[in-house]
Amino acid sequence: MLVSHETRANKKEIININTQTPIIEIAKKANLASQNVSKLSSKTKNYLLQTLCEQIDKNRSEVILSNKLDLDNLASSTKESFRDRLLLDNTRIDNMISSVQDIINLPDPIGQMLDIGVRPNGLEIKKVRSPIGVVGIIYESRPNVTTDASALCIKSGNSVILRGGSEAINTNLLLSKLIQKSLIANSVNPHSVQIISDTSRDLVTELVSTDKYIDLIIPRGSKELLKFLKAHSKIPMIKHLDGNCHVFIDDFADLVKALKISINSKTNRFGVCNAAETLIVSKGIASEFVPKVVNELSKKNVTVRGCDQTKKIVSNIETASEADWYEEYLGPILAIKIVSGINEAIDHINHYGSHHTDAIVSESKKNQNIFTQAVDSSSVIINASTRFADGFEYGLGAEIGISTDKIHARGPVGLEGLTSLRWVVSGDGHIK
Amino acid sequence: MLVSHETRANKKEIININTQTPIIEIAKKANLASQNVSKLSSKTKNYLLQTLCEQIDKNRSEVILSNKLDLDNLASSTKESFRDRLLLDNTRIDNMISSVQDIINLPDPIGQMLDIGVRPNGLEIKKVRSPIGVVGIIYESRPNVTTDASALCIKSGNSVILRGGSEAINTNLLLSKLIQKSLIANSVNPHSVQIISDTSRDLVTELVSTDKYIDLIIPRGSKELLKFLKAHSKIPMIKHLDGNCHVFIDDFADLVKALKISINSKTNRFGVCNAAETLIVSKGIASEFVPKVVNELSKKNVTVRGCDQTKKIVSNIETASEADWYEEYLGPILAIKIVSGINEAIDHINHYGSHHTDAIVSESKKNQNIFTQAVDSSSVIINASTRFADGFEYGLGAEIGISTDKIHARGPVGLEGLTSLRWVVSGDGHIK
């Protein structure tokens, strides 16, 4: 289906959408705009985001209409889960608005001062929390990323270049028009949020090569997209490739909690990065626990692949191969490994895992501490489901992404991850 | 001159130096070792560093002998400044030891817990300061980097792969032998510190491509090396390319301080990244200040290149071209630009600068604050010389590098920059 006349008209009203504009020009403008948005008061930023909430609320029917165009453009063979990720209805628009409202209510990180100390020579050393500059967000499907990412970037004093997927282009253009209106209504440089309507791969390569004007890239999308960006980006990224998450049931586990947490970590949702993929069971409680968990999993139609020792306890399961320990199934399959104790569990997780999220179920404080210290993952969870590894659950408000890299920010990344600390040094004519 | 028999013998004692070992094997071993070093107590780490100080002290004559081999290997045409950077004498060995001792006295960052809060559902959210993992340091000439970097990495719980320059290979191998002895004497995995003796460029390319096992690259060296690494690294880096630093003399400056600070920022040392390259003068005080500063600079044999307005005040200077505002002279040249006031100064710095270090001289608190907020540099200095932008001056102990990137760590990077924060979440059987 072709884009309707109405949407075409909308496109013209959006000042900065022009498929002819080279990336370098978009990036230069974003860079200039970042100097404006970095200096906005908390009050102005919150007014701006409030305006955006009102704009979305006032234009619900237009948003839903644009979204319908995108949905109608999907091939009839499109998977239902993909269609669902793209869909906006009134409930989802409510969530979109309340997510921006949550960001309004978060404290402004910019300008926070940390006193580091006064040096023996009298120099005063401080650090000040500052925006990063220009952030590029590359994402697919979900249109709520357009408003969430814009709101997080503005609140943290950054300008942003959004490159959504082609499948959501009509929805994203309409949403970006509402963002533009909100920027202009609050006298903020309209290039603080720019959306790129050309959705080709070449353009993405160009975007992640413009390191002179863009400071950070945050990709959200398929593993294929992330691998492509990892190979091509000249700009630092906040990203995660894999979510091979583990639940370890310690000898000192409360087996009632262990069962609940194992099942929830695997089955609450299958296709998400914080779902468990391998269950590790300490041998002291294996013969009691494994039959129970396999039974519950089979009720939920989850296929179990076990190590040799697991198969000695429950024979009617598949055999796990070496490859299974590396696997992120993102589906109704769970690998089970029986280990001699906490140390083997830790070694397994650090060797096969993806440093995303790993949980221990144990009533032993000592073992909780050993696990927390030794498991090198961005989130370590004690006696709770891996599914809690999420910016909203951690109180960050909306999250801009999840990082499994080791620098800058690990795990769910919120407002603070869009900032860094600069040094401010005060003297009184000091020379060296 | 060939390597002496004694040094050859030393090489054999060093367990992990083998030019035949592929980088991937070195990196895998470093990765395994990082699991050991990450769990060391503060006490063990400090004992280890104390052993290192003793080893260096006990083996002074051997260190100086190895260093002499390197110096003798230099071509007779080698610049004196290069020779001087490489030289180790007793005073420099004293400094090397006291630098490691400073690191012993710094608080251990690893394991520091930040309470983030308790969520409405009862989940406790904390962050724990953790090592990054495996750090690769690529550097040139100065042999003190070998001991400083090793000490900083160990104290922050990281393993490290050192790749020094070919010109310092004998000194570095001897120092790494002393580090090895200290590791072994304290029962720490000897692969926690590995030095690569193959100094070819191909090997560097391989090193910065081994992203599966190395988490962070810190390059220290020439602009050429940094550009090469920026183009080739698949691993996040902490780096700076340019140090185009500015001193801005505000209308509200104390001109006595302004003169001292301008001269010191330019002439204290020429070839360093935190030396001033452009002096920006506000027009209200220009006719009084510019003749004074040009006079002092000429006494120090500094060539001045001025903008048209500067030349109207002092005619006997060179003319600055557009290219001068971008230039990092690293020598006895200073550009002078007269501006209409603080806003033009800020625009100039943000446009032409390298976000390294920029200073304001002003008695106006208001203008100090405007400058601090708006100048997007890793260090902003008020009423002091740009030359203070340095980890030691900020109280970090030895610095591992300086960053002009916007993420993770900006400016001088010490122990904390070699760590990041992971999430630790505690529940009591919580499921979603």
Of residues A117, A230, A405, nearest to B395 (C-beta): A117
Write the pLDDT tens digit of every residue in A215-241: 999 998 888 888 899 888 999 999 888
Q: Where are the domains of chain B?
A: 5-238+417-421, 245-390
E strand or H helix that includes residue B345: helix B342-352
Write the pLDDT tens digit of every residue in B25-37: 999 999 999 999 9
- Does B405 contact A35 at a Cβ distance shorter than 8 Å? no
Q: What is the pLDDT of residue A148?
A: 95
- Does A427 contact B350 at a Cβ distance shorter than 8 Å? no
Contacts of residue B156 in chain A, CB cutoff 8 Å?
none
Looking at the structure, give the CATH architecture of the domain made up of residues A245-391.
3-Layer(aba) Sandwich (3.40)
Looking at the structure, give the CATH architecture of the domain made up of residues B5-238+417-421.
3-Layer(aba) Sandwich (3.40)
Contacts of residue B399 in chain A, CB cutoff 8 Å?
none
Asked whether B405 and B239 are in contact (CB, 8 A), the reply is: yes
Q: What is the pLDDT of residue A20?
A: 66
Q: In what order do the strands lie in the sheet with A303-306?
A: A318-319, A303-306, A333-339, A276-282, A245-249, A357-361, A379-384, B419-430, B124-131, B113-118
Give the span between the Cα atoms of A226 and A234, in whole angstroms. 14
Q: What's the number of CA atoms in the CB half-sphere (13 Å) around residue A278? A: 34
- Give the pairing type, strands A124-131 and A419-430: antiparallel
B residues 147-186 closer than 8 Å to A (CB): none
B residues 349-368 closer than 8 Å to A (CB): 350, 368
Q: What is the pLDDT of residue A225?
A: 87
Closest CA–CA distance from residue A320 to any residue of chain B (Å): 24
pLDDT in 10s for each residue of chain A, 432 residues: 333 333 333 333 344 444 568 999 999 999 999 999 999 999 999 999 999 999 999 999 999 999 999 999 999 999 888 899 899 999 999 999 999 999 999 999 999 999 889 999 999 999 999 999 999 999 987 899 999 999 999 999 999 999 998 899 999 999 999 999 999 999 999 999 999 987 788 899 999 999 999 999 999 888 888 889 988 899 999 988 889 999 999 999 999 999 999 999 999 999 889 999 999 999 999 999 999 999 999 999 999 999 999 999 999 999 999 999 999 999 999 999 999 999 999 999 999 999 999 999 999 999 999 999 999 999 999 999 999 999 989 988 888 989 999 999 999 999 999 999 999 999 999 999
Of the candidates A151, A127, A117, A155, which has an alpha carbon nearest to the alpha carbon of residue A137? Answer: A151
One-letter identity of residue B258: A
Of residues A123, A368, A388, nearest to B123 (C-beta): A388
For residue B19, what pLDDT band results from cuts at 50, 70 and 90?
Answer: low
- Report chain A's mean pLDDT, rounded to a whole number: 92
Q: How many residues does chain B have?
A: 432
Touching check for A107 and chain B: CB below 8 Å?
A: no
Give the span between the Cα atoms of A174 and B245, in whole angstroms. 43
Query: Three-class SS string for B223-261?
Result: HHHHHHHHHHCCCCECCCCCCCEEEEECCCCCHHHHHHH
Of the candidates A330, A285, A290, A288, which has an alpha carbon nearest to the alpha carbon of residue A306? Answer: A290
Which chain A residue shows the shortest CA-CA distance from B396?
Answer: A116
- Does residue B2 sit in helix, strand or coil? coil
Residue A135's CB is within 10 A of a number of other CB atoms, namely: 27
Write the pLDDT tens digit of every residue in B43-57: 999 999 999 999 999
A residues 383-422 closer than 8 Å to B (CB): 383-385, 387-389, 393-395, 405-412, 420-422
Count interface pairs A-B at CB distance under 8 A.
223
CATH of domain B245-390: 3.40.309.10
